Amino acid sequence: MTAIIQTIDTPDGAFTLLADERQRVLASGWTADHAAIVNCLSGPHRPQAIAEGETDAAAAALAYYDGDLGAIDAVEVAQHGTAAQLAGWAALRRIAPGVPLTYAGFAAHLGTPRAVRAAASICARNAPALFVPCHRVLRSDGSLGGFAWGLEVKRSLLAREAAR
């Protein structure tokens, strides 16, 4: 399998997407460093070959930044993890823009209200950032918490979504 990697410019800086041959996003984030994106995937799930090219998901990301917040919802992703992680990542995709959840609220949404750390771990292990919007989960006190691509990016994404 040859994966495709593409970097685009966004208001939040360089955004790199890694997609498989079916155009499903494997990993993405706010960096121009291709190795950083590939390293979001565990060893057995890293593509054998990667070529620079154009991804279908890039247009959706640009549409999102142009104000079509739902454009990212139609983008297919491919993630590998436990059943709980897969369920969590699917649940993240159902969080509406502008209506973030707390980690406790996300854990309750998953049916495990006491598993706040597990819910946070699901967010931390999310490789296709933006398309699986883990940035929509906040600390219980409403503060930003962590984000692999920096709190400024998370703050910007949340502000963009709140404005719509």
Please report the pLDDT score of residue 22 as a whole number: 96
- 94 and 50, same structural domain? no
Query: What three-state secondary structure class fits 101?
Result: strand
Asked which of 48, 74, 100 is the last residue of a domain, the reply is: 74
- Are residue 70 and residue 90 in the same domain, yes or no? no
Domain boundary among 53, 74, 95: 74
Rounded distance between C-alpha atoms, residue 150 and residue 51, angstroms:
27
Residue 152: its pLDDT value, please?
Answer: 97
Stated pTM of the model? 0.94
Q: Clarify whether 123 is annotated catalytic.
A: no
At 18, which helix (H) or strand (E)?
strand 13-19
Tally of domains in the chain: 2
Check whether residue 152 and residue 110 sit in a common domain.
yes
Are residues 20 and 61 both part of a single domain?
yes
Q: Which residue has the higher pLDDT, 90 or 145?
A: 90
Check whether residue 69 and residue 116 sit in a common domain.
no
Are residues 148 and 129 in contact, defined by beta-carbon separation less than 8 angstroms? yes
Same domain, 91 and 118: yes
Instruction: Provide the CB-side half-sphere exposure for 44 (13 A, CA).
Output: 3
The CA distance from 49 to 40, in Å, is 16
Span 66-94, average pLDDT: 96
Confidence band for 43, pLDDT divided at 50, 70 and 90: confident
pLDDT of residue 82: 94
Q: Give the pLDDT of residue 146.
A: 86
Which pLDDT does position 140 carry in this prediction?
Answer: 86
Mean pLDDT in residue range 40-48: 91
Q: Which CATH number covers residue 137? A: 1.10.10.10
Given 25, 95, 134, 137, which residue is catalytic?
134
The answer to whether residues 70 and 100 belong to one domain is no
> Which residue range(s) make up the domain with 92?
83-162
Which of residues 74, 108, 138 is at a domain's end? 74
Report the pLDDT averaged over residues 24-37.
98
Within 10 A of 16 (CB to CB), how many other CB atoms are there? 21
How confident is residue 137, by pLDDT bands cut at 50, 70 and 90? very high
Q: What pLDDT, in 10s, does the model give residues 84-107?
A: 999 999 999 999 999 999 999 999
